[in-house]
Amino acid sequence: MLKLEHAPRLVLGVRSTDHLSESTAAFARASKRLKTLEHPPFDIKDLTSALSQLEGHASDALYFEYKVPANAALIDIDMSNRPADFPARRSLIKSIDHLMCWEWSDAKEQAKRVLNQTESEDLRDEALNVLAAASALLGDLDGGIGALKQAVQGEWNFALQQNLGVLALQSNPQLAAEQSTYWLEAAETASDRERALFFVLNMWSDLQTDETDEVEIPERIRESFRSALTEELSLSTFVFLGLFLARNDSHWMQEPANWVDSPYFLEDVGNMVLARAEGLDTFVEFLIEQSANSDPEVVQARDNLISEIVEVMLEQESTIGAAAVAIQFIEGGLPCDTLNNALLRPLAVQEVCLYLKDNDGEANDEFVDWLLEFQTFSDSFEDSNLIEFVRDLLVSATAIFTLGYIVGRNSDIGAMEETLNTVYFMSQRWGTRRRLNKPEVRRLATNVIVWADEAQQMIAKLNLLPMPDEKIQEFFQGLIEQEQQVRRMANFILEKN
């Protein structure tokens, strides 16, 4: 099946011609569609991941994804001088509509109808594009690739070439990437070369399984990338190329003399690329330090990285590395003002708490504040499926944090219990009380009260979060009672001593 990460618009039902502001409305429509289908092809997690991905790339001028339509002009084109193509265009629009509603078999049928209705290359190419997408979504990658191979034989269309690359990556990613020099060599104009460069970069980027991986780039392509870095590229392409080389050719990129001729070398984006070449930690530190920088490319780089982190933590298990980067951002002051920024909080809390549970550690108390921030942000959601998804995530993160906190406080009580009980009982009678070291006893009681105050503050915060599990509620109530008991004992000790 077509990788969902390469088709977020098709998951939500958003055409390539639609503005990204339509994504939220499309999410709402798609989530309602989930309820009407007996066996929906996606779930709410898929929809949320797609929305997160589109949000993360909202301001990217170029973005590597499967595009339908590939020829945007066909949607609003004046067909008055092509009356014979009216039926084919109607069928094409229907096929796209079916595709956006996850009706892939119907989309294929309408696309095939277009092929029978016209010999016009632009309509046939787009029909083959829809046919390829529907086939791939139904699990027939070879059929999809075959359809696109027909489509790209005619007039150059970058989006069709990119769509073919998207499918080829899943069939044979290494071969597809190695053959991608064709797009660099076939481009005739500076604009097409830049788009081809973007395309080839994406193909190689897809071979990286995570932010820290490097891929072995053939020398021919590596030299093309190095040379292109000093060309008159658009700012967004320079950033994409620079960050790619920073990850995969870091030693070369760490030498400023190698790319000092780039027109962007002395700008903020040049410093950002150099920071990435020095390592992920340096890159994250740079993005945090530049949190007030309004440069769109710096902002976008931060949004893209956060989007990647969210996707990794949503889709994979044991992502403590991603959680550590998330914590760097949150502690660096990342506001809880977008879906991705908000999702970092419960996802990081959940991942870190699971890791600490297996390694006899305890989470920071500030984690509960992150959960409360997330809860406040999610209160603005209106879509019922999204509300359900974020509540489940919040409940899960709250549960694992609360259990860890209870275990930690029970350990504290176990450590103080014997001494506190002894002093408490000795304080009840004058004869035994006079044998106590008064300053030490008062210090003990004061420390216990400080502990109880801190526990009480945490309990008050946790009470604001959802905790539907009855067993956890039982443990939580037990902690409350223990806190109250040791507080009474400590107050009594102070009163008598």
Token digits of residue 450: 């400080």
Q: Tell me the pLDDT band of 35, cut-offs 50, 70 and 90.
A: confident
Q: What pLDDT does 424 receive? A: 93
Find how far residue 342's CA is from the centre of its chain.
Answer: 11
Taking residues 213-226, what's their average pLDDT? 75
Task: Decide: 99 and 110 in contact? Cβ < 8 Å.
Answer: no
Tens digit of pLDDT for each residue in 145-159? 999 989 988 776 778
- Phi, psi (5° rounding) for residue 56? -65, -25
**Are 52 and 340 in contact, with CB atoms under 8 Å apart?**
yes
pLDDT tens track for 226-249: 988 998 888 888 998 999 999 989
Label residue 291 by pLDDT band (50, 70, 90).
confident
Please calculate the CA angle 407-410-416 and round it to the nearest 5 degrees.
145
Q: Which amino acid is at 142?
A: D
CA quadruple 125, 130, 136, 138: dihedral sign: negative
More confident residue, 3 or 298: 298
- How far are the Cα atoms of 66, 90, 137, 150, 196 from residue 146, in angstroms, in the given order? 15, 24, 14, 7, 21
Q: Which of 251, 242, 327 is closest to 284 using CA atoms?
A: 327
Per-residue pLDDT of 175-215, as tens digits, reads 566 556 666 666 666 776 777 787 777 777 766 554 445 56
pLDDT band per the 50, 70, 90 thresholds, residue 395: very high
Which residue in this structure is represented by tokens 């991941």?
49
Structure tokens at 259: 């790319």
| pLDDT tens-digit map of 52-110 | 878 766 555 456 688 999 998 887 788 888 999 999 999 999 999 999 999 999 999 99
- What pLDDT, on the 0 to 100 scale, is given for residue 213? 55
pLDDT on residue 175: 56
d(CA 202, CA 199): 5
Cis status, amide bond into 41, omega within 30 of 0: no
Rounded Cα gap, residues 272 and 290, in angstroms: 9
Q: Cα-flanking dihedrals φ and ψ of residue 36, to 5°? A: -90, -15
Q: List the one residue out of 156, 5, 136 whose CA is nearest residue 70.
A: 156
Angstrom distance (rounded) from CA 335 to CA 374 = 11
Q: Is the pLDDT of residue 336 over 80?
A: yes
Could you give the CA distance from residue 328 to residue 281 in angstroms, rounded to a whole number?
9
- CA–CA distance, 336 with 314 (Å, rounded to integer): 18
Q: How confident is the model at residue 360 (pLDDT cuts 50, 70, 90)?
A: confident
Res. 164 pLDDT band, cuts 50 70 90: confident
